[in-house]
Protein backbone atom coordinates (compact mmCIF):
# COMPACT_ATOMS: atom_id res chain seq x y z
CA UNK A 1 0.00 0.00 0.00
CA UNK A 2 1.35 3.39 -0.95
CA UNK A 3 1.60 5.81 1.92
CA UNK A 4 0.47 9.45 1.77
CA UNK A 5 3.23 12.02 1.25
CA UNK A 6 2.95 13.20 4.84
CA UNK A 7 3.74 9.71 6.14
CA UNK A 8 6.70 9.40 3.79
CA UNK A 9 8.29 12.52 5.25
CA UNK A 10 7.44 11.83 8.88
CA UNK A 11 8.03 8.12 9.22
CA UNK A 12 5.43 6.30 11.33
CA UNK A 13 6.67 4.75 14.55
CA UNK A 14 6.86 0.99 14.36
CA UNK A 15 6.18 -1.22 17.36
CA UNK A 16 6.83 -4.95 17.43
CA UNK A 17 4.22 -6.81 19.42
CA UNK A 18 5.02 -9.84 21.56
CA UNK A 19 3.69 -12.16 18.86
CA UNK A 20 6.10 -10.72 16.34
CA UNK A 21 3.56 -8.64 14.48
CA UNK A 22 4.52 -5.10 13.45
CA UNK A 23 2.16 -2.21 14.15
CA UNK A 24 2.61 1.28 12.76
CA UNK A 25 1.57 4.43 14.57
CA UNK A 26 1.21 7.20 12.02
CA UNK A 27 2.70 10.55 12.95
CA UNK A 28 0.10 13.01 14.20
CA UNK A 29 -1.38 15.45 11.68
CA UNK A 30 -1.95 18.08 14.35
CA UNK A 31 1.36 19.97 13.82
CA UNK A 32 0.59 20.31 10.11
CA UNK A 33 -2.90 21.65 10.81
CA UNK A 34 -1.57 24.08 13.42
CA UNK A 35 1.16 25.26 11.03
CA UNK A 36 -1.38 25.99 8.27
CA UNK A 37 -3.67 27.80 10.71
CA UNK A 38 -0.75 29.86 11.99
CA UNK A 39 0.34 30.76 8.47
CA UNK A 40 -3.12 31.87 7.39
CA UNK A 41 -3.53 33.79 10.65
CA UNK A 42 -0.34 35.75 9.98
CA UNK A 43 -1.44 36.45 6.40
CA UNK A 44 -4.86 37.64 7.51
CA UNK A 45 -3.29 39.68 10.28
CA UNK A 46 -1.28 41.57 7.66
CA UNK A 47 -4.25 41.95 5.34
CA UNK A 48 -6.60 43.40 7.94
CA UNK A 49 -4.12 45.68 9.75
CA UNK A 50 -4.94 44.21 13.14
CA UNK A 51 -3.27 46.26 15.81
CA UNK A 52 -3.85 45.08 19.35
CA UNK A 53 -2.43 48.25 20.90
CA UNK A 54 -5.36 50.19 19.44
CA UNK A 55 -7.65 47.93 21.40
CA UNK A 56 -5.75 48.77 24.58
CA UNK A 57 -5.60 52.50 24.05
CA UNK A 58 -9.00 53.11 22.49
CA UNK A 59 -10.95 50.10 23.71
CA UNK A 60 -12.71 52.29 26.30
CA UNK A 61 -14.70 53.85 23.43
CA UNK A 62 -16.54 50.55 23.05
CA UNK A 63 -17.30 50.41 26.76
CA UNK A 64 -18.49 54.04 26.69
CA UNK A 65 -21.13 53.24 24.08
CA UNK A 66 -22.19 50.17 26.02
CA UNK A 67 -22.55 52.06 29.30
CA UNK A 68 -24.38 54.89 27.52
CA UNK A 69 -27.06 52.38 26.60
CA UNK A 70 -27.89 52.01 30.30
CA UNK A 71 -30.35 52.96 31.49
CA UNK A 72 -32.38 52.55 28.29
CA UNK A 73 -34.56 55.47 27.29
CA UNK A 74 -38.02 54.28 28.34
CA UNK A 75 -39.77 57.22 26.66
CA UNK A 76 -38.61 55.90 23.33
CA UNK A 77 -40.79 52.83 23.75
CA UNK A 78 -43.76 54.38 21.93
CA UNK A 79 -41.67 54.90 18.78
CA UNK A 80 -40.58 51.28 18.77
CA UNK A 81 -43.89 49.42 18.49
CA UNK A 82 -44.63 50.34 14.85
CA UNK A 83 -41.29 49.27 13.35
CA UNK A 84 -41.17 46.28 15.68
CA UNK A 85 -44.50 44.96 14.39
CA UNK A 86 -43.29 45.68 10.85
CA UNK A 87 -40.27 43.48 11.56
CA UNK A 88 -42.40 40.65 12.92
CA UNK A 89 -44.91 40.89 10.06
CA UNK A 90 -42.12 40.97 7.49
CA UNK A 91 -40.47 37.85 8.84
CA UNK A 92 -43.77 36.06 9.36
CA UNK A 93 -45.02 36.67 5.83
CA UNK A 94 -41.61 35.99 4.28
CA UNK A 95 -41.17 32.78 6.27
CA UNK A 96 -44.63 31.41 5.49
CA UNK A 97 -44.44 32.21 1.78
CA UNK A 98 -40.89 30.82 1.62
CA UNK A 99 -41.83 27.67 3.50
CA UNK A 100 -44.81 27.02 1.20
CA UNK A 101 -42.86 27.52 -2.01
CA UNK A 102 -40.03 25.39 -0.61
CA UNK A 103 -42.26 22.29 -0.86
CA UNK A 104 -42.42 22.12 -4.68
CA UNK A 105 -38.76 23.14 -4.90
CA UNK A 106 -37.70 20.41 -2.48
CA UNK A 107 -39.80 17.81 -4.31
CA UNK A 108 -38.36 18.86 -7.67
CA UNK A 109 -34.81 18.56 -6.29
CA UNK A 110 -35.26 15.12 -4.71
CA UNK A 111 -33.96 12.39 -6.95
CA UNK A 112 -36.24 9.73 -5.43
CA UNK A 113 -39.47 11.64 -6.15
CA UNK A 114 -38.81 13.24 -9.52
CA UNK A 115 -36.63 10.88 -11.50
CA UNK A 116 -35.01 13.40 -13.78
CA UNK A 117 -31.36 14.15 -13.10
CA UNK A 118 -31.24 17.36 -15.10
CA UNK A 119 -34.27 18.81 -13.32
CA UNK A 120 -32.92 17.76 -9.90
CA UNK A 121 -29.52 19.22 -10.62
CA UNK A 122 -30.96 22.48 -11.87
CA UNK A 123 -33.12 23.06 -8.79
CA UNK A 124 -30.35 22.01 -6.40
CA UNK A 125 -27.96 24.44 -8.02
CA UNK A 126 -30.58 27.17 -7.92
CA UNK A 127 -31.19 26.61 -4.21
CA UNK A 128 -27.49 26.64 -3.32
CA UNK A 129 -26.78 29.79 -5.31
CA UNK A 130 -29.73 31.49 -3.64
CA UNK A 131 -28.39 30.38 -0.28
CA UNK A 132 -24.98 31.93 -0.80
CA UNK A 133 -26.35 35.45 -1.06
CA UNK A 134 -26.44 37.01 2.43
CA UNK A 135 -29.94 38.23 3.37
CA UNK A 136 -28.80 41.81 3.75
CA UNK A 137 -27.45 41.85 0.20
CA UNK A 138 -30.65 40.34 -1.18
CA UNK A 139 -32.52 43.03 0.76
CA UNK A 140 -30.27 45.70 -0.73
CA UNK A 141 -31.04 44.47 -4.23
CA UNK A 142 -34.74 44.21 -3.35
CA UNK A 143 -34.84 47.83 -2.20
CA UNK A 144 -33.67 48.81 -5.66
CA UNK A 145 -36.30 46.68 -7.37
CA UNK A 146 -39.30 47.17 -5.06
CA UNK A 147 -38.45 50.53 -3.58
CA UNK A 148 -37.69 51.27 0.08
CA UNK A 149 -39.99 49.69 2.62
CA UNK A 150 -41.26 46.48 4.12
CA UNK A 151 -41.88 44.81 0.76
CA UNK A 152 -38.14 44.65 0.05
CA UNK A 153 -37.48 43.10 3.45
CA UNK A 154 -40.23 40.54 2.96
CA UNK A 155 -38.82 39.51 -0.41
CA UNK A 156 -35.31 39.11 1.04
CA UNK A 157 -36.59 36.95 3.89
CA UNK A 158 -38.80 34.99 1.50
CA UNK A 159 -35.85 34.14 -0.76
CA UNK A 160 -33.60 33.14 2.11
CA UNK A 161 -36.28 30.96 3.72
CA UNK A 162 -37.03 29.30 0.39
CA UNK A 163 -33.39 28.33 -0.11
CA UNK A 164 -32.82 27.26 3.49
CA UNK A 165 -35.91 25.09 3.92
CA UNK A 166 -35.68 23.83 0.34
CA UNK A 167 -32.18 22.50 0.89
CA UNK A 168 -32.85 20.89 4.27
CA UNK A 169 -36.07 19.30 2.99
CA UNK A 170 -34.65 17.75 -0.16
CA UNK A 171 -31.84 16.29 1.92
CA UNK A 172 -34.43 14.81 4.22
CA UNK A 173 -36.75 13.57 1.45
CA UNK A 174 -33.89 11.86 -0.32
CA UNK A 175 -33.12 9.93 2.85
CA UNK A 176 -36.71 8.80 3.39
CA UNK A 177 -37.12 5.03 3.52
CA UNK A 178 -38.89 4.24 0.24
CA UNK A 179 -39.83 0.78 1.51
CA UNK A 180 -43.02 2.10 3.11
CA UNK A 181 -43.97 3.81 -0.14
CA UNK A 182 -43.47 0.61 -2.11
CA UNK A 183 -45.38 -1.39 0.48
CA UNK A 184 -48.35 0.97 0.22
CA UNK A 185 -48.23 0.74 -3.55
CA UNK A 186 -48.20 -3.03 -3.45
CA UNK A 187 -51.26 -2.92 -1.19
CA UNK A 188 -53.08 -1.25 -4.08
CA UNK A 189 -52.83 2.43 -3.21
CA UNK A 190 -52.30 4.90 -6.00
CA UNK A 191 -49.00 6.81 -6.15
CA UNK A 192 -50.56 9.94 -4.67
CA UNK A 193 -52.17 7.99 -1.84
CA UNK A 194 -48.93 6.15 -1.13
CA UNK A 195 -47.12 9.49 -1.05
CA UNK A 196 -49.74 10.88 1.32
CA UNK A 197 -49.55 7.96 3.75
CA UNK A 198 -45.91 6.88 3.47
CA UNK A 199 -43.80 9.96 2.74
CA UNK A 200 -45.82 12.83 4.23
CA UNK A 201 -45.97 11.51 7.83
CA UNK A 202 -42.22 10.96 7.72
CA UNK A 203 -41.35 14.37 6.33
CA UNK A 204 -44.01 16.61 7.90
CA UNK A 205 -42.59 16.92 11.46
CA UNK A 206 -39.15 17.82 10.10
CA UNK A 207 -40.69 20.29 7.69
CA UNK A 208 -42.65 22.05 10.43
CA UNK A 209 -39.75 22.16 12.84
CA UNK A 210 -37.35 23.43 10.18
CA UNK A 211 -39.87 26.11 9.22
CA UNK A 212 -40.24 27.22 12.83
CA UNK A 213 -36.49 27.32 13.19
CA UNK A 214 -36.16 29.40 10.04
CA UNK A 215 -38.78 31.82 11.35
CA UNK A 216 -36.84 32.17 14.59
CA UNK A 217 -33.68 33.05 12.74
CA UNK A 218 -35.53 35.36 10.36
CA UNK A 219 -36.66 37.59 13.23
CA UNK A 220 -33.00 38.26 13.98
CA UNK A 221 -32.21 38.95 10.34
CA UNK A 222 -35.28 41.11 9.86
CA UNK A 223 -34.12 43.30 12.71
CA UNK A 224 -31.13 44.53 10.71
CA UNK A 225 -32.72 44.69 7.27
CA UNK A 226 -33.86 48.24 7.98
CA UNK A 227 -30.23 49.19 7.71
CA UNK A 228 -30.42 49.11 3.92
CA UNK A 229 -33.88 50.70 3.96
CA UNK A 230 -35.91 47.50 3.88
CA UNK A 231 -38.19 48.51 6.73
CA UNK A 232 -38.53 47.36 10.30
CA UNK A 233 -36.71 48.05 13.51
CA UNK A 234 -33.33 48.30 11.77
CA UNK A 235 -34.36 51.72 10.45
CA UNK A 236 -34.64 52.94 14.02
CA UNK A 237 -31.30 51.43 14.98
CA UNK A 238 -29.61 53.06 12.02
CA UNK A 239 -31.17 56.45 12.74
CA UNK A 240 -30.49 56.45 16.50
CA UNK A 241 -26.92 55.19 16.11
CA UNK A 242 -26.35 57.96 13.59
CA UNK A 243 -27.57 60.52 16.11
CA UNK A 244 -25.51 58.89 18.86
CA UNK A 245 -28.70 58.59 20.89
CA UNK A 246 -27.41 55.51 22.71
CA UNK A 247 -30.09 55.25 25.45
CA UNK A 248 -32.71 54.83 22.70
CA UNK A 249 -30.51 52.27 20.95
CA UNK A 250 -30.35 50.44 24.26
CA UNK A 251 -34.14 50.47 24.47
CA UNK A 252 -34.52 49.09 20.93
CA UNK A 253 -32.01 46.33 21.66
CA UNK A 254 -33.72 45.49 24.94
CA UNK A 255 -37.14 45.15 23.30
CA UNK A 256 -35.61 43.16 20.48
CA UNK A 257 -34.00 40.83 22.98
CA UNK A 258 -37.31 40.25 24.77
CA UNK A 259 -39.20 39.61 21.52
CA UNK A 260 -36.56 37.23 20.17
CA UNK A 261 -36.50 35.43 23.50
CA UNK A 262 -40.28 34.99 23.60
CA UNK A 263 -40.50 33.81 19.99
CA UNK A 264 -37.62 31.39 20.52
CA UNK A 265 -39.33 29.91 23.57
CA UNK A 266 -42.65 29.46 21.73
CA UNK A 267 -41.01 27.91 18.72
CA UNK A 268 -38.79 25.70 20.88
CA UNK A 269 -41.88 24.44 22.69
CA UNK A 270 -43.56 23.43 19.44
CA UNK A 271 -40.38 21.94 18.03
CA UNK A 272 -39.99 19.79 21.13
CA UNK A 273 -43.57 18.59 20.66
CA UNK A 274 -42.89 17.72 17.04
CA UNK A 275 -39.96 15.42 17.71
Do 13 and 23 touch, CB atoms closer than 8 A? no
Nearer to another protein, 1 or 145 (CB): 145
Asked if 132 interacts with another protein (CB under 8 A), we say: yes
* 22: helix, strand or coil: strand
Residues 256, 271: Cα–Cα separation, whole Å: 22
Asked if 101 interacts with another protein (CB under 8 A), we say: no
Q: H/E/C letters for each residue in 26-75?
A: CCCCHHHHHHHHHHHHHHHHHHHCCCHHHHHHHCHHHHHHHHHCCCCCHH
Nearer to another protein, 23 or 54 (CB): 54
Q: Which of 15, 128, 182, 269 binds another protein (CB under 8 A)?
A: 128
Q: How far is the CB of 151 from another protein (least distance, A)?
A: 5
Q: Which of 103, 171, 220, 274 binds another protein (CB under 8 A)?
A: 220
Q: Which of 253, 268, 271, 274 binds another protein (CB under 8 A)?
A: 253
x/- letters, 199..218, toward another protein (CB under 8 A):
--------------------
x/- letters, 176..195, toward another protein (CB under 8 A):
--------x--xxx---x--
* 272: helix, strand or coil: helix
Question: Residue 205 contacts by C-beta under 8 Å, 6 or more apart in sequence?
Answer: 274, 275
* 154: helix, strand or coil: helix
Question: Residue 209 contacts by C-beta under 8 Å, 6 or more apart in sequence?
Answer: 270, 271, 274, 275
> H-type helices in the chain, by residue range?
5-9, 30-48, 52-58, 60-68, 77-109, 117-132, 135-146, 150-174, 178-186, 191-194, 200-225, 233-242, 246-274
Q: How far is the CB of 133 from another protein (least distance, A)?
A: 7
Asked if 48 interacts with another protein (CB under 8 A), we say: yes
Q: Which of 23, 32, 50, 200 binds another protein (CB under 8 A)?
A: 50
Binding site for another protein (CB under 8 A): 30, 33, 37, 40-41, 43-45, 47-51, 54-55, 58-59, 61-62, 65-66, 85-86, 88-90, 92-93, 96, 128-129, 132-134, 136-137, 140-141, 144-147, 149-151, 154, 184, 187-189, 193, 197, 220, 223-224, 227-228, 234, 237, 241, 249, 253, 256-257, 260-261
Amino acid sequence: MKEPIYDQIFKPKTYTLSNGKEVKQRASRTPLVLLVVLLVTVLSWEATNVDLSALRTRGYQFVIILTDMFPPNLNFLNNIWGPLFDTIQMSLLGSIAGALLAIPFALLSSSNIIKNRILNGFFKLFLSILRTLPTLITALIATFVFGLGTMAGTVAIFLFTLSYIGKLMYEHIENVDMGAFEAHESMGLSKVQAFRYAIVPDVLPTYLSVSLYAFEGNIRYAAILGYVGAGGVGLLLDERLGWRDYPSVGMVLLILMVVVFIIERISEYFRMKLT
